[in-house]
Structure 1
């Protein structure tokens, strides 16, 4: 999942937990991606 998407969801008021559930990524992975330390691979593969 691109970091931009996570930022967008956060901007809309989604919690990290909600984003993780929607994307199939781990909570920690989403948080790290949000803070700029990588991106979520699971959602990237799924959106194919």
Structure 2
């Protein structure tokens, strides 16, 4: 099933930022990229049990 709610441009930008952060060893930048990836894929704020 395809999820049309994914912002592919934002996801690709966040993934690129994460790669750069990992290369630089910048944990804060990586965390920002991780949060941006979650936003781009519309990850829910909570998990259903």
Mark yes or no: TM-score above 0.5: no
User: Which has the larger Rg?
Assistant: 2
In the superposition, the TM-score normalised over structure 2's length comes to 0.33
TM-score by length of 1: 0.34
